[in-house]
Amino acid sequence: MTTSSTSARRARLAGLTASTAAMVVLASACGGSGGGSGSAPGNFSYLSVTENTTVKTALTTLSKGECRTAQDALPLKVETVPQASLDQKLQLLAGQDALPVQFAAGNAPALTRQLYTSGKVADLEAELKSLGVYDQLEPAAVSTVKALYGGKVEVLPYEYNIEGIFYNKKVFDDNGLTVPGTWTELVAAAGKLEAKGVQPFAASGQQGWPLTRLISGYLYRSLGPDALQDVADGRAKLTDPAYVKAARQVADLGRKGYFGKGVGSIDYDTAMNEFLGGKAGMFYMGSWALANIADEKQNKVGADNIGFMPFPAVEGGRGSVEQYPSNVGLGITLGAKSFDKKTGAWVSCIAKNYGSTALKDQGAISGFKVNTPVEDANEVTGQVRKTISASKQNVLWFEALFSTKATTVSQTNAAGLVGGSLSPEKFMATVQDALSEK
Amino acid sequence: MHRVLGDRKAVLILLGPALLVYSLIMLVPMVWSFGYSFTEGNTIEGFTGNGLDNFQRLFSDPAVRDALWFTAKYAVVVTVGQVVAGYLLALLYVFFLKRASALVRTLVFFPVVLPTVAVGLLFQKFFQVAPQTGPVNSLLNAVGLESVDWFGSAGHAFWVLIVMDIWRSMGFYAVLLFAGLVDIPEEVLESARLDGASGLRLVRHIVLPMSFPVLMSSVVFSVNGTLKVFDCIVALTGGGPGNGTTPLTLYMFQTSFTYGDYGYGSTIALLLTVVCLLVTLVVFRVSRRDPMEG
């Protein structure tokens, strides 16, 4: 009897132990791999987005050339995810303390600021200064990064872009148009093109941001460079009449059919193809499009036929055409815990060589100094580079200071605004509501 | 048998492992998720308790109301469409095509096995207006009508979604209901015919009541599936334009994983669970009534 009771107890104990072990195994499987940013990295892991090939191509080139020594010590390892999945991936990795050494830092600056505040992102100003390469960053790019990231350098400027309107010179000449200097002239030029059967603007409503950039362009020209900082600081609301007016101006372009049919279904590549295929007269875009313009396979109208103009002035407005919307592309940052000597060697090499490599190989303008002179691929590239050097004051884009939710709401509703299914008042109110949430 | 089931130890050994696995993969996550409903934060900043704030927010959030309305509308229309189309097809198989129905059944079932994303892309191309004119708009143009921007307004996009989902799944319901119809004894049908019932009267008074249990199962399947619709909407419209075609599932996903608000996302998930539970209970309650009683 005693024996049977003991064996029953043993069996119960064994069962309990097995169950506990199973739960521990399951629980540990839910945790991080343990090899994340908390330990010394085994390679220079870089999480990028599938859509961006410029940075990974340039880094691969550097790993075989100027950064060979850093590569031997810490091999480059590139992983990509679709841009739409990036935020989810980063949140999961950050939660498991498994962020890569270097990574594209989220679609809205708000996520990077969260990562920085929680100690997961390196203070790059301090790190670059201690490596003695902080002066390799272009001051204009640093100023844009600081404006975006609360006065901190939380991302490296692998791209440095200004935005404006690319136009087809031949289409303009054929239709007797000159470069519009004001919004009224721009609308008149668009009307003339439309009347002649030429689609005035190419734009992607599927992405949304190429449309909302027009709203911020109008706001910066009409209300001055602090227009959206005032919204972020609560001094103004997007529902204020002056802000709604900007949305109305852009909605009017859509109402008149200046973006062509079904703008909501047009994705980024299709819009680019429409412009470079000669089907549209104008294209609001950033200077990263220079790589597409320089590519003869994509550009059917020829690089010599493309001009660049600033977003036009608004009559009586407080802004100036010399204030260019600028950005540093998709910010790329470095994990705080994995920033060691070997990572430092990579960063140091990148800071000294990335600018020349990206410009020479891909015609891409970055926020790093170009230490080896590179000849411009074409006239419009030269024009944009000169504009960047001469630019005195830069402004941000519509969603730059918004939360992730407000950014998404703004961009997913933009097609409705120009398609007529959403009034300017309703559009601005919807975005303002998202912005007002915690 | 009674001796085995009367022995607690035997019951524990037989049920224990399954119960443990069920608890670990079903109950624990559900309770865990419920717990998140009382927090705010995310995996980066950590979680802090916020009491009933998320529940208050749930009742005052217009986006939840929109998503709930869309979900209900979608579930009702698609359920009716799926089950009616499936039932008509099943009647066609049983009473008209009879033994020759195998080929048609296979063809109609084919979209069920296609990946949802592929079906979404197919319908995008069918209904597109730009950069190319899709077949549907070409057809409209051919009869002298203007092209329609099907994905430019929530109203149009809703109907494209409905057509796509019904087309995609009616083959499944047809097979399910077909199995119920072939179970009706031939003698019963024959007697009804001898009594003068035919066509619609036969269906109304004999076929429909006798296939009622499988019909109700189809409704439960369909309602639960459509209340939790996610993949086909993401593939076709992404929830847009704006949030015009965003169901609760997608809003929950966006809130949790895109906006990094896990606590509120869990509260939305809880709402969806409650809705599914209530609807299922209602359907079961209705199905308890004996249709033969008239």
Q: What is the pLDDT of residues B128-179, one digit of tens each?
A: 998 899 999 999 999 999 999 999 999 999 999 999 999 999 999 999 999 9
Look at residue A380 and tell me whether its pLDDT is greater than 60.
yes
pLDDT at res. A175: 96
What 3-state class would DSSP assign to A202? strand
- Give residue-wise pLDDT tens across range A414-431: 999 999 999 999 999 999
- Give residue-wise pLDDT tens across range A275-304: 999 999 999 999 989 989 988 999 999 999
Give kind and range of the element (H or E) at residue A102.
Answer: strand A102-104
Q: Do B131 and A91 touch (CB under 8 A)?
A: no
Q: Do B45 and A117 touch (CB under 8 A)?
A: yes
Lowest mean pLDDT, pick from A1-10, A64-73, A109-118, A282-291: A1-10
B258: contact with A, CB 8 A cutoff:
yes
- DSSP 8-state secondary structure symbol assigned to residue A49: E
Name residue A182's beta-bridge partners: A313
Look at residue A308 and tell me whether its pLDDT is greater than 60.
yes
What whole-number distance in Å separates Cα of residue B262 and Cα of residue B260? 6
Please tell me chain B's helix, strand, coil percentages from 3-state DSSP, rounded to the nearest 5.
75, 5, 20
Q: How many CB pairs under 8 A join A and B?
A: 105
What's the pLDDT band for B58 if we cut at 50, 70, 90? very high
CA distances from A111 to A151, A238, A400, A405 (A): 15, 22, 12, 11
- Which spans in B37-185 are helix H? 53-60, 62-91, 101-113, 116-127, 135-142, 154-181
What whole-number distance in Å separates Cα of residue A274 and Cα of residue A290? 15
Mean pLDDT for chain B?
Answer: 91
What whole-number distance in Å separates Cα of residue A185 and Cα of residue A285? 19
pLDDT at res. A291: 85
Q: Which of A19, A88, A264 minimises the CB distance to B152?
A: A264
Contacts of B199 (CB under 8 A, 6+ apart): none
Q: Do B43 and A120 touch (CB under 8 A)?
A: no
pLDDT at res. B5: 72
What whole-number distance in Å separates Cα of residue A118 and Cα of residue A433? 27
Contacts of B29 (CB under 8 A, 6+ apart): none
Q: What percent of chain B has pLDDT over 70?
A: 97
What whole-number distance in Å separates Cα of residue B265 and Cα of residue B124? 29
Residues of B in contact with A438 (CB under 8 A): 40
Measure the N-to-C terminal CA separation of chain A; round to a whole number of Å: 66
Q: Do B259 and A412 touch (CB under 8 A)?
A: no
pLDDT at res. B90: 95
B260 → chain A, closest CA residue: A91
What whole-number distance in Å separates Cα of residue B243 and Cα of residue A430? 11
Averaged over A235-257, what is the pLDDT?
98
Lowest mean pLDDT, pick from A38-47, A77-86, B284-293: B284-293
What whole-number distance in Å separates Cα of residue A138 and Cα of residue A146? 12
If one compares A145 and B258, the residue with the highest pLDDT of the two is: A145
Bond before B131 cis per omega within 30 degrees: yes
Interface test with B, best of A107, A421, A437 (most B CBs within 10 A): A421
Q: Which of A117, A273, A419 minimises the CB distance to B149?
A: A419
**Angstroms from B169 CA to nearest CA on chain A:** 26
pLDDT at res. B57: 95
* Structure-token pair, residue A3: 């024996």
Look at residue A322 and tell me whether its pLDDT is greater than 60.
yes
pLDDT at res. B259: 87
The closest alpha carbon to A193, from A213, A171, A164, A163, belongs to: A171
If one compares A198 and A363, the residue with the highest pLDDT of the two is: A198
pLDDT at res. A24: 42
* Residue count (chain A): 438
B45: contact with A, CB 8 A cutoff:
yes
Q: Do A274 and B42 touch (CB under 8 A)?
A: no
pLDDT at res. B291: 54
Q: Do B44 and A88 touch (CB under 8 A)?
A: no
pLDDT at res. A28: 39
- Give residue-wise pLDDT tens across range A2-53: 444 555 555 555 554 444 444 444 443 343 333 344 568 899 999 999 878 8
**Angstroms from B256 CA to nearest CA on chain A:** 9
A13: contact with B, CB 8 A cutoff:
no
Q: Which amino acid is residue A52, in one-letter code?
A: N
A191: contact with B, CB 8 A cutoff:
no
Interface test with B, best of A118, A412, A427, A433 (most B CBs within 10 A): A412
B128: contact with A, CB 8 A cutoff:
yes
- Give residue-wise pLDDT tens across range B18-48: 999 999 999 999 999 999 999 998 888 889 9
A150: contact with B, CB 8 A cutoff:
no
A95: contact with B, CB 8 A cutoff:
yes
Q: Do B152 and A419 touch (CB under 8 A)?
A: yes
**Angstroms from B38 CA to nearest CA on chain A:** 16
Q: Do A264 and B260 touch (CB under 8 A)?
A: no
pLDDT at res. B292: 55
What's the pLDDT band for A252 if we cut at 50, 70, 90? very high
Half-sphere exposure of A202 (CA within 13 A, CB side): 23
Measure the N-to-C terminal CA separation of chain B; round to a whole number of Å: 41
B259: contact with A, CB 8 A cutoff:
yes
* Residue count (chain B): 294
The model carries a pTM of 0.86
**Angstroms from A115 CA to nearest CA on chain B:** 7
Across chain A, how many H-helices and E-strands are there?
Answer: 18, 10
Answer whether A371's CB lies under 8 Å from A352's CB.
yes
What whole-number distance in Å separates Cα of residue A78 and Cα of residue A53? 11
Mean pLDDT for chain A?
Answer: 89
Give kind and range of the element (H or E) at residue A372.
Answer: none
A329 phi-psi bin (left φ>0, alpha ψ -120 to 50, beta other): left
Answer whether A424's CB lies under 8 Å from A248's CB.
yes
Q: Do B152 and A270 touch (CB under 8 A)?
A: no
Q: Which of A88, A95, A413 minimises the CB distance to B242?
A: A413
A107 → chain B, closest CA residue: B258
Q: Which of B16, B46, B257 minimises the CB distance to A91?
A: B257
Q: Do A265 and B257 touch (CB under 8 A)?
A: no
- DSSP 8-state secondary structure symbol assigned to residue B206: I
Q: Do A416 and B42 touch (CB under 8 A)?
A: no
pLDDT at res. B1: 60
- Give residue-wise pLDDT tens across range A335-379: 999 999 999 999 999 999 999 999 888 888 899 999 988 888 889
B156 → chain A, closest CA residue: A421
The interface predicted TM-score of the complex, written ipTM, equals 0.83
Q: Do B258 and A114 touch (CB under 8 A)?
A: no
Q: Do B24 and A262 touch (CB under 8 A)?
A: no
pLDDT at res. B288: 73
pLDDT at res. B2: 65
A260 phi-psi bin (left φ>0, alpha ψ -120 to 50, beta other): left
Residues of B in contact with A81 (CB under 8 A): none
What whole-number distance in Å separates Cα of residue A131 and Cα of residue A351? 10
What whole-number distance in Å separates Cα of residue B155 and Cα of residue B148? 12
Interface test with A, best of B12, B254, B258 (most A CBs within 10 A): B258
A267 → chain B, closest CA residue: B131
Q: Do B130 and A261 touch (CB under 8 A)?
A: yes
Q: Do A415 and B241 touch (CB under 8 A)?
A: yes
What's the pLDDT band for A99 if we cut at 50, 70, 90? very high
What 3-state class would DSSP assign to B203? helix
Answer whether A273's CB lies under 8 Å from A267's CB.
no
Q: What percent of chain A has pLDDT over 70?
A: 91
